[in-house]
Amino acid sequence: MGVLDFILNVVCLLLWLSWRSVHLDPLANSTPATLAGTLKKTERTRFKGWQFLVGLIVLLALRAVAYWQLGSPVNWTPKLDLGFVVLSFRSETLKTVTLYSLLSFLRFVLIFYFWLMVLSAANRATVEPDPISRLIRLHLGRVAGWAAAAQLIAPCLLGASLWLLLHGLLVQSGVIARLNSSTHLAGQALMVGASLWLSLKWLVPPILLLHVVNSYVYLGGNPLWEFVATTSQSLLQPLHRVPLRVRRIDLTPVAAIILVVLLLHWLPHYATWQMARRNLTIWPQ
């Protein structure tokens, strides 16, 4: 069920991006430069923007019903991983499962756009961006013109704000316990927002690994490899002064991958284990 939930989130994200792409078409609202450009196509467009949006809403609703019907028979508990805490939802209640369906997709979209902002911030100094970088900037719109620090911080602040807004609903649904301290609640919100950085352990290592492969094996000319090379050089910039080259072998990407795993995977788990060991937690049951 976990794999199915991930696949459905991907499908929902594709529907969302398809809806967004309709409005991002640079030729849709452009002024024709020639007389031929004023001519309209005789064939009708099969899909319009609202159809993708309706399909997204219907799919989110249908999968909530499916989880409600199948959750208990297969003994599956929907869980939402927020980095520092994992929220469990009761599958025998339609209201709770519907809430999970919406929040699971919301988290998926938030991580996706956070990744786009990280990639945009990493490659913002590129004078002539590759096609993939241009596509990323197109999807981000005006956000792509923000300062790098703003692009890296804004999604975290949004995640923290969503936690504050949805806290009461989660308490009513029995997912989390009620808090009596506003300071406690603010700490939870900050950790939920900061957990977006932990998701980079699924983005940065694969890019650096592809960069290592492309550096020693010729894989042909492709915009993907140009994007990987440019992004990797930007991500590895802080380590360039460290002597990690052995003859013709550059170990900088390998060191960066190890560093990312230690900081974004091992260290948070170790900190959580230490807090649980000392009975210190901001997530009361």
Domain boundary assignment for the chain: 8-21+48-277
The pLDDT of residue 22 is above 80: no
pLDDT digits (tens, 9 = 90+) for 135-179: 999 889 899 889 999 999 999 999 999 999 999 899 998 888 888
The pLDDT of residue 13 is above 60: yes
pLDDT digits (tens, 9 = 90+) for 45-60: 565 677 888 999 999 9
The pLDDT of residue 281 is above 80: no
Three-state secondary structure readout of the chain:
CHHHHHHHHHHHHHHHHHHHHHHHCCCCCCCCCCCHHHCCCCCCCCCCHHHHHHHHHHHHHHHHHHHHHHHCCCCCCCEEECCCCEEECCCCCHHHHHHHHHHHHHHHHHHHHHHHHHHHHHCCCCCCCCHHHHHHHHHHHHHHHCCHHHHHHHHHHHHHHHHHHHHHHHHHCCCCCCCCCHHHHHHHHHHHHHHHHHHHHHCHHHHHHHHHHHHHCCCCCCHHHHHHHHHHHHHCHHHCCCCCEECCEECHHHHHHHHHHHHHHHHHHHHHHHHHHCCCCCCCC
